[in-house]
Amino acid sequence: MDFSSNCAWCERPKTAGPTCSNCGADYAKAEAIKLRGKADIAAVTAAGSSAADKGFTSVVIDDSAVVADPNLEKKICIAAMPSMLAFAFLVQISGFGTSVQRIVFGMPIHELGHATVSWFCGFNAVPTLWKTLSPADRGIAASIVLFVAIVALANHGRQNMKNAWIVVAVFLLLLQGIGTFMLSERDAQQYILFGGDGGGMVLAALLMLSFYFGKQTQLYSGGLRWGFLGIGAAAFADMFMIWVRSMNDRLQVPYGLTGGEPTDAFKLINYHT
C-alpha cells in the first residue's frame, strides 16, 4: 500500500507537517506500524539535542503508537463522558437504582472528599465507606505525606519537561499552605464538612477526566479509564442532584441525623453559622 500521499491511519490526504491534521497520527510512525507492526525509534531532534545540552531529558510521547484506531478513539473520547453522565443522571431522575448509586459510588467519593480537604488543612483523616475519621486537632503525618507527594509530582514534571504538572504542584502547595497555616481549626472544620460534597464532586470530575489521559499507561491498555469514568459519573450525579433538588425544595436538604450522627448540613447550619 502506498502511503506517500495519504495518512496510514485514517487514509485522508496528507497535510503539511509531520502529523495528520485529521487523526493526529505521526505519519512516519503510523506507516511503520502499518507495514511492520511497530514504530521505529525516532531520531533525536534538534530541539531534543538542545534540551539535553542544558541538562534536560527530552521525552516525546506519541499516543498514535499505542492507539489501534485513532479515528475510533477520537469518536469514543467525544461520546464517552456525555454518555456516562447521561446514564448516571437518568438513574437519579428515574429513581431506579439510586440507593446502589449512593452506597457503591457516591458515599466513598463523598468521604474521600472530606478526607482530602482534611489533609490539605493538616488533619490526619482516614476515610471509610460511611464516615471519615478525623481528630479534632491538627497532626503532622498527613501534612508530611501530602507535601512529599506534591514535591514528587513537581519533580516528575521537571524530569519529563511537563510544565503543566509543575504548575499543578505549585497550586497544590499553595492550597496546603493556606489550609494548614492560615485557617483556624474552626474554619478548617467548616471547609472539611463542605468538602464531602464540594471536594467529592471535584474528585469525581477528576476521575472522569482521567479517561482522556494516560494512553501509555494501564488507564488505557488495562481499561481502567472506563471504570474511573463510570465511578466518577455516578458519584458526581449522586452528589450534584442533592444540591439541585434542594434549590427548589428545602425538605430535600439532608438535615438531621443519619445513623445517630448529625449530617453535614446539620453541622454547617448549627455549628458554623
Q: What is the pLDDT of residues 174-230, one digit of tens each?
A: 999 999 999 999 999 999 999 999 999 999 999 999 999 888 888 888 899 999 999
Return phi, psi of residue 258, to 5°: -130, 115
Mean pLDDT of 71-84: 95
What b/e sequence results for 227-242 when a residue is b if at least 16 CB atoms lie within 10 Å of its CB, and e otherwise? ebbbbbbbbbbbbbbb
Return phi, psi of residue 20, to 5°: -80, 130
What DSSP assignment string belongs to 195-261?
TTTHHHHHHHHHHHHGGGS-TTSHHHHTSHHHHHHHHHHHHHHHHHHHHHHHHH-GGGS--SEETTE
- pLDDT tens digits for range 126-162: 999 889 998 889 999 999 999 999 999 999 999 988 8
Q: Which residues partner with 202 through β-bridges?
A: none
Residue 54 has pLDDT above 50, yes or no: no
Cα separation, 97 vs 181, whole angstroms: 43
Q: CA-based Rg of the chain, rounded to a whole angstrom?
A: 24
pLDDT band at 67 (very low <50, low <70, confident <90, very high): confident
Q: What is the pLDDT of residue 272?
A: 85
pLDDT band at 43 (very low <50, low <70, confident <90, very high): very low
Instruction: Kindly report each contact of residues 2-5 with a partner whose C-beta sits within 8 Å and lies 24 or more positions away, as own/partner.
Output: 3/27, 3/30, 3/31, 3/34
Q: What is the pLDDT of residue 176?
A: 97
Q: What is the pLDDT of residue 50?
A: 46
Q: What is the pLDDT of residue 38?
A: 54
At 161, list the grid cell: 519537561
Q: Residue 1's closest CA among 40, 30, 25, 21? A: 30
